Amino acid sequence: SFDLTQPPSVSVSPGQTARITCSSDALSRQYTYWFQQKPGQAPVLVIYKDTERPSGIPERFSGSSSGTTVTLTISGVQAEDEADYYCQSADNSATYVFGTGTKVTVL
Amino acid sequence: QVQLLQSGAEVKKAGASVKVSCHVSGNTLTELSILWVRQAPGKGLEWVGHVEAENGEAIYAQKFQGRVTMTEDTSTDTAYMELSSLRSEDTAIYYCATRTAYNAFDLWGQGTMVTVSS
């Protein structure tokens, strides 16, 4: 198994850009997925396969990958984007791992 | 439109077992892989295990090996996650999820709160 490391928190003003990183040596070989979770709700998929955005997710959400670090970027942050964000990946033996989670606060 | 409906909250004594269900509507269970994830109060998401649609194989997180069993009843399109020898640290919301598109877990159940009391 492996660990996915995220910063515990990110604070951003409305309209600014939030960047959340997820790091592991395993990410150079596997896809990463990002989930948004608001209090009292189930997680919602916002990015899949590193950079793809599901239907219905605003364009301000984007993903990128560089070596062992993947990044979720929220451009033009809105108050409704305040939530916890988790990255997720898997290894070759179909073991799934979630990142430690990042709380995004909109100031 | 696929939906996942989970069973209601459970309160169990330490040492007991709990069985959480996840009913699939809008598709048949045999077509879907089912993921189980839990979240302790104030904590992050934790993978418990999953059942692959391709071969029905259950893969469990090493942490839960020997205590968790994931089964499926295809006649009712219901997936089950049973956790035994419960301890207070198992108090959490348990979610099921599945892939409907994008080869990613994009559909989640509403969650089932399991409380373990000593």
Confidence band of A29 (pLDDT split at 50, 70, 90): confident
Inter-chain contact B109–A42, Cβ cutoff 8 Å? yes
Size of interface A-B (CB pairs under 8 A): 60
What's the confidence (pLDDT) of residue A8? Answer: 97
Mean local confidence (pLDDT), A36-62: 97
Q: What is the pLDDT of residues B43-96, one digit of tens each?
A: 999 999 999 888 889 999 999 999 999 999 999 999 999 999 999 999 999 999
**Is the Cβ–Cβ distance between A98 and B46 less than 8 Å?**
yes
What's the confidence (pLDDT) of residue A16? Answer: 97
Interchain CB contact of B111 with A (< 8 Å): yes
Q: Which chain A residues contact residue B64 at CB under 8 A? A: none
Task: Please provide residue B90's backbone torsions phi and psi, each rounded to the nearest 5 degrees.
Answer: -85, -5
What's the confidence (pLDDT) of residue B101? Answer: 85
3-state secondary structure of B30: helix
What's the confidence (pLDDT) of residue B53? Answer: 86
Interchain CB contact of B110 with A (< 8 Å): yes
Question: Does residue A2 surpass a pLDDT of 90?
Answer: no
Interchain CB contact of A101 with B (< 8 Å): yes
Inter-chain contact B45–A42, Cβ cutoff 8 Å? no
| Closest to B47 in 3D by CA, of A77, A84, A29, A87 | A87
Name the token pair of B12. Answer: 């169990």
> Which residue in this structure is represented by tokens 């916890």?
A84
Confidence band of A40 (pLDDT split at 50, 70, 90): very high
| Closest to B108 in 3D by CA, of B54, B56, B57, B32 | B32
Interchain CB contact of A99 with B (< 8 Å): yes
The DSSP annotation for A5-69 comes to B--SEEEE-TTS-EEEEEE-GGGGTS--EEEEE-TTS--EEEEBTTTB--TTS-TTEEEEEETTE
Residue among A1, A42, A84 whose CB faces B108 most closely: A42
Q: Which chain B residues contact residue A98 at CB under 8 A? A: 37, 44-47
Å from A16 to nearest chain B CA? 26
Question: Does residue B9 surpass a pLDDT of 80?
Answer: yes
